[in-house]
Amino acid sequence: MIRGTAHLAVYDTFADWETGHTTAHLTRNGFAVRTVGLTTTPVTSMGGLTVRPDLALTELRPEDSALLVLPGATQWDAGDELAPFARTARAFLDAGVPVAAICGATAGLAREGLLDDRAHTSAASFYLAATGYAGGAHYTDADAVTDRDLITAGPTEPVAFAREVFGRLGVYDEKKLDAWYRLFHDSDASAYEVLQG
């Protein structure tokens, strides 16, 4: 039984390692994961993987989704090519559908004004400050941050990022979520038994 559909944004140079824990464990726990591109033309990840998007961004509607995931990519800092994804994130948040952004995608959301009144994090505060956004007072020096329906993380925290997604979507109860994080972040083998229980 499908618990919902998570949409993963894909574009050239997307950082494929940043969302691997998130998408793999959502799939293992009953969520469908569909990829979304600017078009359905294949894209190539930073790791050299070719991905053909399942749908174009113009086809994506918040009411058909449980989550929009935005990975980092060099394009976030190289012009406005990915700005349509940030505008879509605004539509999702306005509709009460969660958005999870990691690494450079946080800068895209900053430029869109989506971090101006929400607690958030990123690679570093000065990275977001360079966008000229107005949310610097809400920057939090943490692995990952959830404020209402927005999840943010820096590029070195794919496990903490996934934990926040799982918590927001109710993928695991609190005990199993803690065990999942201890297993994948801390290599705590004792957490495996809790996850299997």
Q: Which residues are catalytic?
A: 103
| The Cα angle at residue 143 between residues 166 and 160, in degrees rounded to 5 | 25
Contact 82, 76 (CB under 8 A): yes
Contact 60, 10 (CB under 8 A): no
Residue of 156, 164, 148, 147 lying closest to 25 (CA atoms) = 164
Structure token digits, residue 31: 């969520």
Per-position b or e across 153-164, b if 16+ CB within 10 A of its CB:
bbbebbbbbbbb
Query: Encoding tokens for residue 148?
Result: 């209402």
